[in-house]
Amino acid sequence: MSNPVLDTLRADQALVVVRASRIDDPVALCDALVAGGIRTVELTYTTPGLTGLLAAVAARSGDGIVIGAGTVLTADQARAALTAGARFLVTPGLPAEAAEIVEEGHAAGAAVILGALTPTEVLAATTLGADAVKIFPARAVGPRYLSDLRGPFPEVALIPSGGVDDDNAAEFLRAGAIAVTAGTSVVDPADVDEARWEQITTNAARFRAALR
């Protein structure tokens, strides 16, 4: 069955994870990313006040933004993020409550992306019902590793994260990723602190261009 979040990821081939100590204007941040061609934005529990940030962006859902919550470690965090308007959940690995996180996400109609690295973890994530699997840290294994995973897992939607930038993003896509995760190369925390939205738009557009 088609998943709207994964459909957007396949179309754009990219999402952005934002790692910032604070985000004063999450709507302006997401608008800047959409202007640069990246509609799927992951705000994480490492940023204080995440649920309020999600709610602010979710209220602008008609603008084409697909907002989600990252670094989800518990079912309580999943529920809070979903209540605030998250349309997808991302974990950094396979937390103890991974099954409950998947259950909460699917009950709310959200996509769930579980983190993994080894083939055993990828298998565990798919067995738990993950809609996609985040391969993290991608910088540690490289595109060839992702290609190797495609052998036993040809139907699994793989999304590399961690160390993906303009120089290697297209290679990860050629290796079989449905999309790649951009991080500080697109959203530098300093740019967020200084509200340099035009710079973030430029970075996002450059990253999208590199995918081609």
Angle, alpha carbons 204-187-139 (nearest 5°): 90
Write out the catalytic residue numbers: 42, 134
For position 3, what pLDDT does the model report?
86
For position 86, what pLDDT does the model report?
97
User: Shortest CA distance to 212 belongs to which of 37, 65, 42?
Assistant: 37
For position 61, what pLDDT does the model report?
60
Yes or no: domain 4-210 corresponds to CATH 3.20.20.70: yes
Q: Angle, nearest 10°, between helix axes 75-84 and 50-58?
A: 30
Distance CA 17, CA 171 (A): 19
Helices (H) and strands (E) in the chain, counts: 10, 8
User: Shortest CA distance to 59 belongs to which of 82, 29, 85?
Assistant: 85
Low-confidence ranges of the chain (pLDDT < 50): none
Q: For tokens 């204007």, what's the residue?
A: 25
What pLDDT digit, counting tens, does each position of 168-206 carry?
999 999 999 999 999 999 999 999 999 999 999 999 999
For position 54, what pLDDT does the model report?
98
For position 64, what pLDDT does the model report?
86
**φ, ψ for residue 158 (rounded to 5)?**
-105, 135
- Name residues whose C-beta falls within 8 Å of residue 127's C-beta, 6 or more positions apart in sequence: none
Give residue limits of the domains in the chain. 4-210
For position 60, what pLDDT does the model report?
76
Task: Give the pTM.
Answer: 0.96
- Name residues whose C-beta falls within 8 Å of residue 84's C-beta, 6 or more positions apart in sequence: 50, 51, 52, 54, 55, 58, 69
CA atoms within 13 A on the CB side of 71: 12
